[in-house]
Amino acid sequence: MKLSELKNGETAVIIRLSGHGGFRKRIMEMGFVRGEKVKSVLDSPLSDPVKYHVMGYDVSLRRNEASMIEVLPEEEAKTILTPAPSFGCIAECGHCTTCSCNKQRNNAIRKNVINVALIGNPNSGKTSLFNILTGSSEHVGNYSGVTVDAKSGSFNYKGYRIRITDLPGTYSISAYTPEEIYVRRHLFNEEPDVIINAVVASNIERNLYLTTELIDLNLRTVVALNMYDELVSSGAKINYEHLGAMMGVPMIPTVARSGKGLDKLLDTVIEMFEGTNNTARHIHINYGISMEESITPLAALLHKATDLPHQFPVRYWATKLLEKDNEALKQLHACKDIGTWMKKADKLSHKVEHETGVDVETAISDAKYGFINGALQETYTVGNENANKKTRRIDRLVANKWLGFPLFFALMWLMFTAVYKIGAFPQAWIESAFAFMGQFFTNIIPKGAIQDLVVNGIIGGVGSVAIFLPNILILYLFISLMEDSGYMARAAFIMDRLMHRMGLHGKSFIPMLMGFGCNVPAIMATRTIESHSSRIITILITPFMSCSARLPVYILLAGTFFPEHAPLVMIGLYIFGILIAAFTARMLRIVKYKKDETPFVMELPPYRWPTLRSTLRHMWEKCEQYIKKIGTVVLAATVIIWFLSYFPRPAENATTENNAYAESYIGMMGKSIEPIVEPLGLNWRSSIALIASLPAKELVVSTLGVLYNSNEKNLSQSLIASGDFTKSSAAAFLVFILLFFPCIATVTTIAEETGKKKFALFAIIYNTGIAWLIAFLINQLGSYF
């Protein structure tokens, strides 16, 4: 029977995994291995994906992916499964010829600098460890994939300079996901002196899988048994000294949140570096007779080579050749005898498959889990799983069929209300502060170009953007709390089905949601999406989410031209943006990214209380970023716009302000692109507003304010009186503003986050193109009726 057929509350045992190699490997790393018990816990409100419990973890899996896992009820499974190879099947190194364990790294050159790499599963507390050790403030979150690239920091400890690198979280260091490749290359290229492997103490079994891979690599590893507090409170017990001795890796209990155990951890790091640790020794995990009989001859062959990369042991390369591991083949590519090796490996792996009935990868991971199981049997006593019970109770509510969505929307409503309503108070203070400054400089600078630049250009322009700082902080307070508590993963869980229709992942939902606030942080939030194609697509569709900068424009134009239906028009615009985003996502999936390369296996971490420190740090980080943006991009843009609209100066006797604008550079630009927007029913004044809005879309309003400035009427009345807009051209204008060129900051962020200019270019051309097309249709159809 298939795992997808399992009903909520039922338990079964895994018999076989099908599906392509990448999928199999991924899910194996996550604990779905032969012989393991798995329980179907909870359906998401739309009945897909499903939350499963395996190896002490909650994991969300889509039904069609679960259908690739074959299971049987426990009783039946017993008759089929042979018992897993038991512990004891390890070989001491030194008795073997298959590895180069005696390799010595040359520490002499830099005697007192230790390079440390932090490796561990997502959410195991690596970044927390990193922050507390280095005193820095990287972003921590109870949500997998928060750290995407490596961050380094250093500090002094007992006469050593310790340089530590926080690597992205991985379940293994095979090479299927970008993170895994990243980590493996880091180990290969940087050759860190010591590895700190963060392991979740309260969920040790799956976490140790990665540790076994580090053992294979023969790297000097110290295990930080992190979240030891959770282990203790769950009532579980672990004899970590004994476990460490068996695995040949020292294990140190830590609590990264409070800093407990860190001195001991660092002492052990130094011992490892100096080679004085008593626990550390190199072991070989026995992969079973058939595998070992294949590894030995192949390793003997490799041993003769002189050009084998020295970073990893011979035995490791032999295993990877048997697995036909792409990354290893790339690294061995230049070796003279690679052809012979591959032929030999091919023959041997066929033999293994024939003898064991499973492929090499499965045979190895089965053996590894067998090894871990055996070791834990002797050293680990399960607790009463209190923590799990609490999490399960909350999840039953949060992902409830009837309550899941209402709760979610209530939370969103609360968030947006807080952002706008509470944010309005400090917003007003900032506004009056800027008004005061403007007044002050008007008084002290004599009337003229300089005064205009300072007051209308710099203070006016920067002020109009700076007032959004409080809103952004509140938005991030909510996002940070949702992330740290573990709710974010649940939001992705319940939205996955809908997002799947767009060819995306539940995780894409969060950034899109954030896009309603501001597209820039939203695009940065896509870092949590593991799948590369999903991430790119999400980045490209985020600008269609109506950010808060567009709101004033909607309020003005909808209120002016559709006074009876203004709220409806506004909601319509929001929804229309979402539809275009969905359409674009589908198109990109059809045309460019045919397949989503990573399966939807997402960990649902236990709920945790967010810490004040990490929440404040997170908010401060955003605050800093935003102020930086105001000081650079926004400031430069406003000065340029001011310059273009102020010069050349009209003759003294110019009739009205309006004409003054028409003859400025920006007026000329408006006129020159008028032919392009004419089919949309717009004239040169609207073009100016569009150009002026490139740095920030709210500038549409202020620009229109200047262009249609009149003493007797307010802006709405002057817009109507001008006769420049019909109902249909106003609608076209609104849709055009919604869809066209995202602001400069967004475009820059797209380029930065994707690392490629072409995506920024796409965002400019495609968005403007589709905006024009739809605005054109609206205007033409509108005038026709």
Residues in the site for ligand GDP, rule: CB under 6 A?
Answer: 120, 122-128, 140-142, 146-147, 169, 198, 226-227, 229-230, 255-257, 484, 608, 611
Phi first, then psi, for residue 461 (nearest 5°) are: -70, -50
Got the DSSP string for 319-363?
Answer: HHHHHT-HHHHHHHTT-TTHHHHHHHHHHHHHHHHHHHSS-HHHH
Task: Identify which range of 53-61, 123-131, 417-425, 466-474 contacts Mg ion by CB under 5 A.
Answer: 123-131
Which tokens in the block code for residue 457?
């250009």
Nearest-approach distance from CB 386 to ligand GDP, in angstroms: 13
| 255 versus 696: smaller Cβ distance to ligand GDP | 255
Which residue do the tokens 């364990």 mark? 101
Taking the complex as a whole, how short is the minimal distance between the CB of residue 141 and ligand GDP, in angstroms?
5
> Quick one: tokens of 508?
């894409």
Candidate ranges 101-109, 147-155, 416-424, 432-440; the one touching Mg ion (CB under 5 A):
147-155
User: At its nearest, how many Å lie between ligand GDP and the CB of residue 257?
Assistant: 4
Rounded CA-CA distance 342/364 in Å is: 19
Residue 147 interacting with Mg ion (CB under 5 A): yes
- Output the CA–CA distances (angstroms, integers) from residue 619 to 97, 169, 417, in the order listed: 55, 23, 18
At which residue do the structure tokens 């006129």 appear? Answer: 671
Query: Please, what is the minimum distance in Å from the beta carbon of residue 598 to Mg ion?
Result: 18
Q: How far is the CB of 146 from ligand GDP (least distance, A)?
A: 5
In the complex with ligand GDP, the residue whose CB is nearer, 3 or 227, is: 227
Lay out the sheet containing 251-253: strands in order across.
Answer: 151-157, 160-166, 113-120, 194-200, 221-226, 251-253
Q: Which CB sits closer to Mg ion, 165 or 754?
A: 165
- Identify what 257 binds: Mg ion, ligand GDP, none; CB under 5 to 8 Å per kind: ligand GDP
Binding Mg ion (rule: CB under 5 A), the pick from 40, 44, 98, 127 is 127
Is 142 among the residues that bind Mg ion (CB under 5 A)? Answer: no
Phi and psi dihedrals of 90, rounded to 5? -120, 155
CB of 253 to Mg ion, least distance (A): 20
Taking the C-alpha atoms of 747, 751, 754 and 759 in order, what is their torsion angle to the nearest 10 degrees?
70
Nearest approach in angstroms of CB 539 to ligand GDP is: 22
Question: Considering CB distances under 5 to 8 angstroms, the limit depending on partner class, which of Mg ion, ligand GDP, none binds residue 31?
Answer: none
388 binds Mg ion (CB under 5 A): no
Question: Please, which residue, 271 or 483, has the CB nearer to Mg ion?
Answer: 483
Nearer to Mg ion, 4 or 147 (CB): 147
Residue 508 touches which of ligand GDP, Mg ion, none (CB < 5 to 8 A by kind)?
Answer: none
Per partner kind, with CB cut-offs from 5 to 8 A, the member of Mg ion, ligand GDP, none near residue 123 is ligand GDP
Question: Which residue from 667, 663, 646 is spatially nearest to 654, judged by alpha carbons?
Answer: 663
Q: What DSSP letter does each residue of 684-724 carry, written as one string?
A: HHHHHHHHHTSS-TTHHHHHHHHHT--SSS-HHHHHHHHT-
120 binds, among Mg ion, ligand GDP, none (CB under 5 to 8 A by kind): ligand GDP
Token digits for 565?
Answer: 């239906």
Cα 217 off chain centre by: 28
Q: Which is nearer to ligand GDP, 52 or 487 (CB)?
A: 487
CB-CB contact of 41 with 52 (8 Å): yes
Tokens 């080579």 appear where?
A: 305
Tell me how far apart the terminal alpha carbons of the chain are, to the nearest angstrom.
59
Complex with Mg ion: residue 13 or 146, whichever CB lies closer: 146
Report how many residues bind Mg ion under the rule CB under 5 A. Answer: 3
Q: Which residues, in sequence order, are CB contacts of 350 under 8 Å at separation 6+?
A: none
Smallest gap from Cβ 147 to Mg ion, in A, equals: 3
**What's the Rg (C-alpha) of the chain?**
30
Q: Among the candidate windows 1-9, 120-128, 196-204, 632-640, which touches Mg ion by CB under 5 A?
A: 120-128
Please state the closest distance from residue 605 (CB atom) to ligand GDP, in A.
7
Q: CA 188, 194, 199 angle in degrees (round to 5)?
A: 100
- Binder of residue 256, out of ligand GDP, Mg ion, none (CB less than 5 to 8 A by kind): ligand GDP
- Span from 24-32, 141-149, 605-613, 715-723 in contact with Mg ion (CB under 5 A): 141-149
Q: Closest approach of Cβ 618 to ligand GDP, in Å?
A: 11
Asked if 165 is part of the footprint of Mg ion (rule: CB under 5 A), the reply reads: no
Q: Which lies closer to Mg ion via its Cβ, residue 127 or residue 754?
A: 127
Select the binding partner of residue 227 from ligand GDP, Mg ion, none (C-beta < 5 to 8 A, by kind): ligand GDP
User: Of the two residues 61 and 146, which places its CB atom closer to Mg ion in the complex?
Assistant: 146
Q: Where are the beta strands (DSSP E) in 217-274?
A: 221-226, 237-238, 251-253
Q: Are 228 and 256 in contact (CB under 8 A)?
A: no
CB of residue 580 to Mg ion, shortest distance in Å: 34
Kindly state the smallest distance separating residue 173's Cβ from ligand GDP, in Å. Answer: 15
Which of 198/588 has CB closer to ligand GDP? 198
- Provide the residue count of the chain: 785
User: 3-state DSSP call for residue 251?
Assistant: strand
206 binds, among Mg ion, ligand GDP, none (CB under 5 to 8 A by kind): none
Separation CA 449–CA 451 (nearest Å): 5
The nearest distance, CB 4 to ligand GDP, in angstroms, is: 29
CA distance 73 to 434: 70
In the sheet with 11-17, reading across from the earlier edge strand, the strands are: 69-72, 11-17, 37-43, 50-54, 57-61, 601-603
Least distance in angstroms from the C-beta of 186 to ligand GDP: 15
Cβ nearer to Mg ion, comparing 521 with 543? 521
Alpha-carbon distances of 272 from 90, 94, 280, 609, rounded to whole Å: 22, 19, 8, 34
Q: Which is nearer to ligand GDP, 109 or 612 (CB)?
A: 612
Q: Which is nearer to ligand GDP, 26 or 697 (CB)?
A: 26
Short-list 380, 101, 302, 331, CA closest to 215 = 101
The residue ranges that bind Mg ion (CB under 5 A) are 127, 146-147
